[in-house]
Amino acid sequence: MHIMEGYLDPMWCAVWFIVMIPFFVFGVLKLRKILAEHPEQKMVVALSGAFIFLLSSLKLPSVTGSSSHPTGTGIAVVFYGVGVCAVLSTIVLLFQALLLAHGGFTTLGANCVSMGIIGPLVGLVLWKVCRSAKAGVFVSMFIAAAIADLMTYVVTAIQMSLNVVTTNGADFVSAFIDFMSVYAVTQIPLAIVEGIILAMFAQYLYTSKPELFEITESNKINPFTTEA
């Protein structure tokens, strides 16, 4: 899913960096505040980052000739919000670009916007809706993680479509359908599997250490709040 180095026009690289930077800055501020006021959350922060790194590094071949992978952002965004998720995702994306040739440095902004910001934001909204409707932790996390995964690919398809529209004069709708058809074959089942894995982990945490979930109740959908 990561957009590779050199694919995007420099204009779009700049646009997506401009979108990403405010989320990253506020995420750093919020993460510092969380760790200062809730030191018991350090383990979950580390595990959240590990989930993102591990799952998003699993590139699986697609029958359409592309590749797909999970994103692993569900735990991070539910516990700490979009800003912190953007920070963790950026760190992961940097390591992957440097060590795994997965993604790129010029496309870091675009990849963070899709995997670390917009996809997780949709997942967080659905988590809040499910919990407000008295859904259990397992069901709520399954829906949040699976949809966050799928939305990441929708955003990536939009980014790539905008790029070919401005560089090649392609039709946006046709380009979007083409990109989504490439991803959908493998990404829908992957999103379901990811949802189950993260839901099982969330249920385990809720059963063994329910106090860790107290921070999720005060977590705001607004990514620019530093309230813990």
pTM summary value: 0.90
With a cut of 90, say whether residue 86 has pLDDT above it: yes
CA end-to-end distance (rounded Å), the chain: 31
Share of the chain above pLDDT 70, in %: 91
* Average confidence (pLDDT) over 140-153: 95
Helical packing angle, 137-168 and 172-208, nearest 10°: 160
How many whole angstroms separate alpha carbon 71 and alpha carbon 24?
18
The 10s digit of each residue's pLDDT in 28-37 is 999 999 999 8
Where are the alpha helices (H) located in 102-218, listed in sequence order?
A: 108-112, 119-132, 137-168, 172-208, 214-218
Q: How confident is the model at residue 90 (pLDDT cuts 50, 70, 90)?
A: very high
Q: Is domain 10-218 classified as CATH 3.40.50.880? A: no
With a cut of 90, say whether residue 126 has pLDDT above it: yes
- For residue 187, what pLDDT is reported? 84
Q: Which residues are CB-neighbours of 223 under 8 A, at least 6 positions away?
A: 23, 26, 27, 81, 82, 83, 86, 117, 121
The SS3 assignment for 67 reads strand
The domain limits of the chain are 10-218
